[in-house]
Homo-oligomer: A and B are copies of this chain.
Amino acid sequence: MSEKGKLIVISGPSGAGKSTVVAEAIKGRQDVCFSTSVTTRSPRPGEVDGREYFFIDRERFDEMVEKDELLEHAVYVSNCYGTPRAFVEEKLAEGLNVLLDIEVQGARQVREKVPDSVKIFVVPPTLEELRRRLVNRGTESAEAIENRLARARQEYGEATFYDYIIVNDDLAVAAQELTAIITAEHCRAADRMEYLENI
C-alpha cells in the first residue's frame, strides 16, 4: 500500500525539548525528513544552499509570498524565513513524512494552507521544569528566561488549535508517542478509503 507522506507540524516553547523528542523518534527511520526553509539571510561559513537553507534574495522571497509559494513565512531581525510549498509537496508525493519545527504563528498559517497537516504541540511537564531546563542551558540572562516563561504560558493557549499534545517528561515515552501519532495518522479512514474502494 503506497501512501502519500504526512506534513507534521511541531511547535512548543523553547526548552520543551522538541528537537530531542524528534531526534529520538526518527532515529533510523527512512520515512521521515525535515523541511528545508528559504531565507534571505546570507549563508554562514560551511552552510550549503539547499541543505541548511535555500538562500534567496528579498525580491525572490517577496515573489514567493505573492505567488503563495510559501506554506508559512516570518521575519526575524530583518531576515525573512519561509517554508517552500513545492519542496514539501515533492517530499510528500515521494511518500516521505515531512517535519516542520515552527512557532505557533507559522503553524497557524500552515493549518490554513494544509488542513490535513498533523499539528503537534510539545510541552515540558511543568513550567518549573521549563525554568530549570532554561537555567541549565546557561545561555540566557535571568530576564530572558522570565520572558521565555511568560511567552510559554501565553503559547499554551494556542495548544488547543493543535491535534495532539506531547508532554515531554520521559523522553522515551514522548518519542514513542510521536512515533505512534505518525503511524496512526497513516491509518486515517479518509486516506485509506481510496485503497478500500479499489479492492
Contact = CB atoms under 8 A, between A and B. Distances in A.
A178 B71 CA distance: 32
Interface class of chain A by DSSP: helix
B167 A189 contact: no
Contacts of A164: 184, 187-189, 192
Contacts of A167: 1, 192, 195
A179 interface: yes
B165 A123 contact: no
Contacts of A156: 196-197
Contact of A187 (B165, B196, B197): B165
Interface string A161-199: 111111101000000110111011111111011011101
A197 B190 CA distance: 31
A160 B193 contact: yes
A65 interface: no
Interface residues of A, number: 37
Nearest to A188: B164
A125 B183 contact: no
A79 interface: no
Nearest to A181: B184
A127 interface: yes
A105 interface: no
A121 interface: yes
